[in-house]
């Protein structure tokens, strides 16, 4: 009998320990979840507008590798077709930040309360190539041809510059305004257009289309694009420390991207379904990623705006200096040589 009682006591004691251990684990998990939730509430929620190509890689790396969170930012990265679409969304107040090439950025600065806070990359001239179909071998042969144009993007500016340089009037060509790179690619494949610029991974696809060939890159007009980063003016004014932290996160992501291009290409594939090999080639050969804003970066944006305004492509008038705020950049990256207004 005594042995039986002793056995029951042991079982009860062990059961109690198991129960306590179980409760302790559950309590720890609850506490951990609560702490994580509390930490997330401390982060500043920012809606990031990002395009669907290699232009947006710094944002995607910053999100995937935790650089935004490390710098106090809860980044909601939203994907759009082109940089111009992120700018349009920012103008409408749908996102807090936007990315855009020079022309697209200049075309939207007068339409909404946006500030350029830095430059994030500069695609190389060879990033964009002019692909043609049929009996076109040089730019002068474009007269009488149908041209595919991505309206509202830097592509529109590039075409205007090319036609001007080679003395081709807009009346001597047919401009077909299309909405996306896949749409332009499909149009040249069908023969609905006979010329179009393609960049990045789309160059590889264009080169595979029957009877289509490249006749040159952006060096045809001596032009190299620059990609700018804009933020809602209210955030720049009321929460400058948030802008500083976003720029710090982007700079960290930029360094990581350069040191781990294969992983960056993996991220592009997972998020955008872009072919890894094509993205990896773009990173290594076609793009210079860097967070900065130099005097040259300012001059370039100003020149693109003034040329486009004079040609009627951008009708709004504004002082370029009023659209720039690089104070957050100076605080985020104090060792950078920056533009001085």
- Say how far apart CA 320 and CA 284 lie, in whole Å: 32
Helix, strand, coil percentages, rounded to 5, for the chain? 55, 20, 25
Shared domain check, 91 and 140: no
Shared domain check, 230 and 90: yes
Q: Which residue range is the domain that position 252 belongs to? A: 43-123+225-332
Cβ density class 198-221: b for 16+ within 10 Å, e for less:
bbbbbbebbeebeebeebbbbebb
Q: The tokens 């160059």 sit on which residue?
A: 203
The reported pLDDT for the residue numbered 31 is: 47
20 within a domain of the structure (yes/no): no
The reported pLDDT for the residue numbered 21 is: 46
Is 60 exceeded by the pLDDT of residue 3? no
* Domain final position from 193, 220, 247: 220
For the stretch 51-81, pLDDT in tens is 999 999 999 999 999 999 999 999 999 999 9
The reported pLDDT for the residue numbered 29 is: 52
207 within a domain of the structure (yes/no): yes
CATH number of the domain enclosing 183? 3.40.190.10
Shared domain check, 243 and 215: no
- Mean pLDDT on 171-194: 95
For the stretch 208-230, pLDDT in tens is 999 999 999 999 999 999 999 99
27 within a domain of the structure (yes/no): no
Whether pTM > 0.75 for this model: the answer is yes
CB 228, CB 120: distance < 8 Å: yes
Is 80 exceeded by the pLDDT of residue 94? yes
The reported pLDDT for the residue numbered 33 is: 53
Shared domain check, 112 and 256: yes
Shared domain check, 176 and 53: no
The reported pLDDT for the residue numbered 37 is: 53
* Domain final position from 196, 220, 244: 220
């Amino acid at each position: 009998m005594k042995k039986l009682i002793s056995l029951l006591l042991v079982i009860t004691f062990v059961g109690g320990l198991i129960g306590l251990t179980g409760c302790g684990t559950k309590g720890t998990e609850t506490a951990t979840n609560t702490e994580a939730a509390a930490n997330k509430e401390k982060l500043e929620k920012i809606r990031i507008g990002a395009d669907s190509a290699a232009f947006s890689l710094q944002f995607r790396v910053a999100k995937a590798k935790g650089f935004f969170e490390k710098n106090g930012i809860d980044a909601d990265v939203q994907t759009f077709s082109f940089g111009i679409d992120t700018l349009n969304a920012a103008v409408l107040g749908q996102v807090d930040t936007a990315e855009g090439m020079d022309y697209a950025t200049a075309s939207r600065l007068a339409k909404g309360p946006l500030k350029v806070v830095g430059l994030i990359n500069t695609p190389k001239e060879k990033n964009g190539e002019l692909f043609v179909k049929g009996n076109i071998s040089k730019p002068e042969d474009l007269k009488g041809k149908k041209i595919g144009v991505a309206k509202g993007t830097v592509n529109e500016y590039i075409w205007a510059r090319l036609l001007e340089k080679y003395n081709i009037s807009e009346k001597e060509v047919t401009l077909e305004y299309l909405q996306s790179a896949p749409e332009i690619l499909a149009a040249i494949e069908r023969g609905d257009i006979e010329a179009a610029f393609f960049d990045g991974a789309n160059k590889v696809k264009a080169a595979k289309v029957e009877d289509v060939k490249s006749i040159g890159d952006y060096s045809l007009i001596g032009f190299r694009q620059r990609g700018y980063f804009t933020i809602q003016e209210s955030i720049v004014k009321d929460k400058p420390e948030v802008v500083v932290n976003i720029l710090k996160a982007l700079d960290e992501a930029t360094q990581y991207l350069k040191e781990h291009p294969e992983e960056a290409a993996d991220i592009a594939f997972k998020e955008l379904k872009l072919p890894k090999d094509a993205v990896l080639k773009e990173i290594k050969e076609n793009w210079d990623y860097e967070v900065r804003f130099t005097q040259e970066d300012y001059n370039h944006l100003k020149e693109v705006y003034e040329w486009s305004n004079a040609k009627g492509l951008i009708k709004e008038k504004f002082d370029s200096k009023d659209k720039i705020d690089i104070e957050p950049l100076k605080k985020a990256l104090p060792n950078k040589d920056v533009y001085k207004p």
